[in-house]
Amino acid sequence: MSDLDEVITALAHHLHAAQHVTVLTGAGISAESGIPTFRDAQTGLWSQFDPEELASPAGFARNPGLVWRWYAERRIKACAAQPNPAHYALVDLAKMVPKLTLITQNIDGLHQRAGSQDVIELHGSLHRARCMADGTVHTTWDYDEELPQCPDCGALLRPDVVWFGEYLPVAALEAAYTATLDCDVFFSIGTSGVVEPAASLPRIALSRGATVLILNLEQTTAARPPLFTIHGKAGEVLPRLVSTVRRLRA
Ligand code: OAD
């Protein structure tokens, strides 16, 4: 048995016994759908674009047209992308455990398109816009407009995403903390874990006695229960893990 097989088998047993599994995902889970991550060298969005210009309230105030063009392009790419085996594995896992809470930092909507329900979106969504005047959220707007306007009052709309220097949506953050404190297994998948407060969730889960898996391309494979790390692709590792849980249940 390889190291990875051993870690997967150990984790599958924890999942099989779990009452509540909480999963935090980041850009890495959508990488195999062709959506760029933020911090991977060469391909990461923040190696090509300036977050101060494109993802901050000051950048939007300076040049809303530029910011809207960037988000419109990302929204079109997200709509053209398909969920990958990692997204689907989480849908399957949710059916195998008594409770699964999915928290994502992603704004691409791919978890929902794969079939995940009640996804907690910590950083908003590319598929929503918000009125600058009164905060009303819209799920459709005139996509051809360079500066889309609120269909109710005509004020400028902004993407309903969290920008640098902004607070996370309170209800989403509270739900994320509650699920992190309550779970017995916690997964962190495809996130570099550098952006707070999401970055602290695995540590909070560990401190509460949960079994924690960190899965991304940068960690080394090791099992030091209760903290497991796997270096691998989410689209390959998660389906294997879910198949192993399925066999345990059979
Ligand atoms: P990052 O780009 O910081 O990290 C992506 C992580 O995914 C890295 O650790 C990669 O190793 C890993 N990765 C890449 N491909 C993978 C694959 N196929 N399978 C598994 N892991 C893979 O993205 P996030 O951690 O999501 O915030 O970034 C967090 C936040 O920073 C984003 O939500 C965004 C950004 O600024 C806002 O825009 C508010």
Question: Which atom of ligand 1 approaches the CA of 32 most closely?
Answer: 18
| Residue 136 exposed, middle or buried by CB count within 10 Å (0-12, 13-18, 19+) | middle
- Is residue 93 lining ligand 1, measured as CB closer than 6 Å? no
- Is residue 28 lining ligand 1, measured as CB closer than 6 Å? yes
**What pLDDT does residue 39 have?**
86
Please list the active-site residues. 123
The overall longest dimension of the chain from CA atoms, in Å, is 63
CATH of domain 37-80+125-161: 3.30.1600.10
Instruction: Kindly report the protein residue whose alpha carbon is nearest to atom 30 of ligand 1.
Output: 195
Question: Which atom of ligand 1 approaches the CA of 51 most closely?
Answer: 36
- Is residue 126 lining ligand 1, measured as CB closer than 6 Å? no
**What pLDDT does residue 63 have?**
95
Please give the full DSSP string across 162-194, using - where no structure is assigned. PPTTPPPPHHHHHHHHHHHHH-SEEEEES--S-
**What pLDDT does residue 238 have?**
98
CATH homologous superfamily of 1-35+83-123+168-250 equals TPP-binding domain (3.40.50.1220)
Mean pLDDT by 10 residues, the chain (250 residues): 89 97 98 92 80 94 95 96 98 98 98 98 98 96 95 96 96 98 97 91 95 87 75 96 94
Task: Return the domain boundaries, the chain.
Answer: 1-35+83-123+168-250, 37-80+125-161
**What pLDDT does residue 221 have?**
57
**What pLDDT does residue 194 have?**
87
**What pLDDT does residue 1 have?**
67
pTM: 0.95
- Is residue 124 lining ligand 1, measured as CB closer than 6 Å? no
- 1-35+83-123+168-250 and 37-80+125-161 have identical folds: no
